[in-house]
Structure 1
Amino acid sequence: MRIRRNDSPSGFLYFTAEVLVFSLRRLTIRKNPDFS
């Protein structure tokens, strides 16, 4: 995954959204273990 921070703010926003979705998914899996 390549991230150019000083390229454009949209790239940073996309990266932030990726991290948010990832952490949210981890939290959901942690709450219900059978949610594979």
Structure 2
Amino acid sequence: AADFQKHLIEHFNAIRPFFDYMSSVLTTNLNGESLL
């Protein structure tokens, strides 16, 4: 189970930059101004 958790964390860290990028794209307009 510990090995599975380690694998999950590695996978999460791998997709984190993409997730952050998508979050910024979805919450800002083309001028980089926040929509929130």
TM-score relative to the length of structure 1: 0.47
| Bigger Rg over Cα | 2
Structure with greater helix percent: 2
TM-score relative to the length of structure 2: 0.47
